[in-house]
Amino acid sequence: MISRLPAPSPTIARVAPFAVFALLTSFQGYGPETAKYWIYAAKTVLGAGLLWWVWPVAKEMRWTFSWAGLLVGVVIAGLWIGLEPFYPHFGRGGKPWNPFADFGERSALAWFFVSVRLLAVTLVVPPLEEVFYRSFLYRYISKPDFESVPLKGVRWPAFLITAALFGAAHPGEWLPGMLCGAAYQALVCWKGRLGDAILAHAVTNLILGIYVVSSRSFQFW
């Protein structure tokens, strides 16, 4: 049996997976062109391991199926794609993340990296980002003793700041990013749990990922 590392503090449990994932993302533009794919695969495995580590502490990080979460996920995916021609995009310089362009359309390695990314954005990124933005940041802005702040209920300064920061974290798609952050946060405020937002986030990312690969619209990635 694999022994679990010492339990992290409540803050580290909600911040560390996101911080490590973001740090590794910042290195993807360095080194050989193909290095970014290996870095993405590595951060996916590490992110999954960190989620497993913090799972007992961040008890709100549990998946929940609800029709509301499913509907929000589908609507946000539609907005993410549909709004593309109607707002300015920032931070899209450089070559898109497109393994088919670097390894070939029929390359098994290209499909491996695409599969890894689809798994990451569907199963790893949603709980990792939601526990940071919705469980930690939203509540911390309201009160540094964030664990004493209930998930349920709207706190407007924190709501608006969190949505804006979520959009800023997606500069190429800042507008749907802000709408996305607001919609997921509204789910948490309404339901009083994180699971619906995790589901919505996963549905959005899965639909968007399938669209990216099928239409070769890699500017979204």
| Tens digit of each residue's pLDDT (9 = 90 or more) over 81-103 | 999 999 999 877 678 899 999 99
* 176-194: average pLDDT: 98
pLDDT at position 28: 84
Which pLDDT belongs to residue 184? 98
Q: Residue 125: which residues within 8 A CB-CB, separation 6 or more?
A: 21, 47, 201, 205
* Span 22-66, pLDDT tens digits: 999 988 878 888 999 999 999 999 999 999 999 999 999 999 999
Q: What is the DSSP letter of 7?
A: P
Tally Cβ neighbours within 10 Å of residue 34.
13
Other CB atoms within a 10 A radius of the CB of residue 9 amount to 11
H and E: helices and strands count for the chain:
10, 0
Give per-residue pLDDT as tens, 142-151: 999 999 999 9
With a threshold of 0.85, does the pTM exceed it?
yes
The first and second tokens of residue 162, run together, are: 């969190």
Q: How far apart are CA 182 and CA 39, in angstroms?
A: 30
C-alpha distances in Å from residue 51, one per residue of 13, 57, 170: 8, 10, 22
Report the candidate in 172, 164, 208 with the shortest Cα–Cα distance to residue 73.
208
Instruction: Give dist(CA 173, CA 87) in Å, integer.
Output: 9
Identify the H or E element spanning 165. helix 156-168
